[in-house]
Amino acid sequence: MIHPDTRLDFLGDSMGHGVVAKQFIPAGTIVYAKDKLEIEMDSAHPLFYDRGYREIIDKYSYIEPSGMYVISWDLAKYVNHSCSSNTLSTGYGFEIAVRDILPGEEITDDYGMLNIEHELSCSCGSDNCRGYVKPNDLEFLSEEWDERVKNALKNFNEVHQPLKHLVTIETLLELESFFLRKENYKSVSSLLLKRTNIFHTAEY
């Protein structure tokens, strides 16, 4: 589920649709958290072998470390990539605003954290555009992302968190542990797909 203060906008022919903030969303706010309505499937699912469905799955899903594909039932699936995104995935299973997001600003995340299966060329326009988003970006960029996430988490308990009810008690305890001892931080590198969890090579 995406933060309630967002809407779907058509951003133009080249960008297509994207998600835009309706209100100010401060750094440290959970912007996306998986909820129980999300569609989840592994690569053994029969729809992986149906060309039409496979295109939808490839376009809208992200892949968890377990190998599970997740498609959001709400606007979250329309969030676009930026190499200088204003939200990032975290090792705690939710995405967080890593800087203040202004009303009318597009919400973006970094697809390099989502275990994409194929390299994507990128022309996001940010000053530090990497040019490509790669399936193994997490292996090389985790340190940089961790710094931004840790910085955002400093505000976690200070900002309004409309999605906090979706965070499990276990995860809240993990966060509490980090707030008490910085070395207990859970790195974004924990999001990296464990390749042994792919049971099938689903080609069509």
Q: Which residues bind Zn ion (CB under 5 A)?
A: 83, 122, 124, 129
Nearer to Zn ion, 124 or 202 (CB): 124
Nearer to Zn ion, 79 or 122 (CB): 122
Nearer to Zn ion, 43 or 108 (CB): 108
Least distance in Å: CB of 120 to Zn ion?
9
Query: What is the 3-class SS of the chain, one letter each residue?
Result: CECCCEEEEECCCCCCEEEEECCCECCCCEEEECCCCCEEECCCCHHHHCHHHHHHHHHHEEECCCCCEEECCCHHHHCEECCCCCEEECCCCEEEECCCECCCCEEEECHHHCCCCCCEECCCCCCCCCCEECCCHHHHHHHHHHHHHHHHHCCCCCCCCCCHHHCCHHHHHHHHHHHHCHHHCCCHHHHCCCHHHCCCCCCC
Least distance in Å: CB of 87 to Zn ion?
15
Least distance in Å: CB of 150 to Zn ion?
23
Nearer to Zn ion, 31 or 83 (CB): 83
Least distance in Å: CB of 136 to Zn ion?
16
